[in-house]
Amino acid sequence: MASPGVKPDHKVAVQNDFLVEGGDVESGVQNPLKRGLQSRHMQMIAIGGAIGAGLFVGSGKALATGGPASLIICYAIVGVMLLFTCQALAELAVLYPVNGAFFTYTVRFVDPSWGFATGWDYVLTWLTVLPFELVAAGITIEFWRTDINMSVWITLFLVVLVGIQFFGVRGYGEVEFILSIIKITACVAFIILGVVIDCGGTGDQGYIGAKYWKDPGAFRNGFKGFAGVFVVAAFSFGGTELVGLAAAESENPRKSIPKASKQVFWRIAFFYIVNLFIVGLIVPYDNGRLISGTSGIDAKASPFVIAIEAAGIKVLPHIINGVITIAVISVANSATFASSRTMQALAAQGMGPKFLAYVDKSGRPLWSIVVQLAMGLVAYVAVAGKEQALAAFTWLLALGGASYFFVWATVCLTHIRFRYVWKAQGNSLDDIPYKPALGILGSYIGLALNTLALLATMYTSAYDGENLSAKTWFETCLAVVVVAVLYIGHKIFTKDWRLYIPANEVDLSGARILLKLEDEEETPPKTWRNLPRRIMGALF
């Protein structure tokens, strides 16, 4: 018996030099999604897609909360967590490059109710992110111009997003390719500049070295400060899973997805850890500007801007603000892509309104895109400035507060469950086209770290300063309640109270890529002696 929500079809076809079991690899209806993402798009989405205000501005709050040592340690831990998560998602996405990615896999291999709950929570997260990013983009423009009403900039950015959607997935890919190059260039340039500043090569500060690690110190606020950095770090990596979501629209998922997932290692190690190490060297955690920003994208609170201005460089703060503006637009572009594709997949699985499943002749999930862009109009409500409107906007954002942890943990859990079912049905691991170096061990580590991140979020958000506060908890952790309600509601509606689908009822054949017909890469034998080679192969 096939799992609920899955319609197995055992036809075999050839697509892009692959054997495909189950016919079309798309899970949509009517017309298939267009496979317009090339390998270069996928790699840039992986390397620079999630680099945004969380790195350029949010890291300042993290530095002020826990100090430079906590900053490096926590971002490294979360980086390892996301590395294992992306590797697990890559294995599933290469074998089953279907729309909806993690949610579709969860419905098939774990439990339809849990897939329904996490899928719709993920949609709600990106739906509410779009208006926030439009407002954020307007705020970054106010760094230069305060004489023009912010609604003008919101309208301009919204029109740009509509224009990008006109070109379908290729438009999304090209925009992300260009914006990612700009963000990566900015990161590399700051590392070089940061070394010059630290060595006293510019400004009147002289040689700095590691003196800020001694005074005011490497750590701040004890365990609460460390946990607070952990939370900020986790949110900074939001959107990393988009590589797996884009699998259904990749020209060659067998090649592009493994390459893209391996780029996560470089983004974590170089663009995050090295940049933040430099920031911790040249900006003390007790600098008052780190926590004086009016928002999470206020360039004046960016440690990058603070360091540059302290060095007496006049022009570069404007350049950094421009990079932050680009990063915000990039996130808004990703929000439209992520929510529309997930909505279409949910509807195609019978878990949402039927009209959202429609895909036009150009391969665009048209009505899902319309719903997402319509949510952008909420940005005008926030700009209105009325207290009630701002409060409603704050609670909308709270819907996605802890959603990423559910998504990432679900990916790791689904991979573990998939491997169990794969073996239980008598299949060989040799038939899986791409396998992470550490297999399900990495997924167990990722699941554990995601669980710790969620617990840390729930702990730190329970306090408003020194006092317990239900309001601050719900503003960050409302997603916990939303997921629980969606999960229980789906169980009641379907009357299926099983915690998971029995292994013998899981369909492993539908819409699955088997093995590449030729040019298959040699896989080293699985022995402890070859473990270093396997790990290096996964990273490089």
**Domains parsed from the chain with CATH numbers:** 27-422+439-495 (1.20.1740.10)
User: What pLDDT, in 10s, does the model give residues 142-175?
Assistant: 778 878 888 888 899 899 988 888 888 788 888 8
Residue type at 93? A
Residue 105 pairs with which residues in a beta bridge?
none
Quote the pLDDT of residue 411. Answer: 93
Q: Which residues have CB under 8 Å from 98's CB, separation 6+?
A: 25, 26, 27, 104, 247, 248, 345, 511
User: What pLDDT, in 10s, does the model give residues 493-516?
Assistant: 999 899 899 998 988 875 454 444
**Quick check: bond before 112 cis, omega within 30?**
no
Min mean pLDDT across 12-16, 167-171, 179-183, 331-335 is at 12-16
Rounded-to-integer distance, Cα 45 and Cα 47, Å? 6
Q: Which residues have CB under 8 Å from 334's CB, separation 6+?
A: 49, 126, 176, 239, 242
**Most confidently predicted of 380-384, 386-390, 395-399:** 380-384
- One-character DSSP codes across 356-406: GG---TTS--HHHHHHHHHHTTHHHHHHH--HHHHHHHHHHHHTTTTHHHH
User: What pLDDT, in 10s, does the model give residues 293-330?
Assistant: 555 556 677 888 888 888 888 888 888 888 888 888 88
Rounded-to-integer distance, Cα 267 and Cα 264, Å? 5
Quote the pLDDT of residue 299. Answer: 65
Would you state the structure tokens that stand for residue 188, as one six-digit string? 């590399």
Give the largest CA-CA distance in the chain: 73
User: What pLDDT, in 10s, does the model give residues 270-298?
Assistant: 778 898 999 999 999 988 888 655 555 56
Q: Could you tell me the pTM of the whole model?
A: 0.82
User: Average pLDDT in the 343-371 region?
Assistant: 88
User: What pLDDT, in 10s, does the model give residues 467-477?
Assistant: 777 877 887 78
Quote the pLDDT of residue 49. Answer: 65
Contact 6/509 with Cβ under 8 angstroms? no
Min mean pLDDT across 83-92, 186-195, 260-269, 354-363 is at 260-269
Q: What is the mean pLDDT of the chain?
A: 79
pLDDT level of residue 13 (50, 70, 90 thresholds)? very low
Would you state the structure tokens that stand for residue 402, as one six-digit string? 């802890």
Q: How many CA atoms lie within 13 A of 123 on its CB side?
A: 25
User: 17 φ, ψ to 5°?
Assistant: 70, 25
Higher pLDDT, 40 or 162: 162
Quote the pLDDT of residue 36. Answer: 66
Question: Distance of CA 6 to CAs 85, 111, 497, Å?
Answer: 24, 12, 18
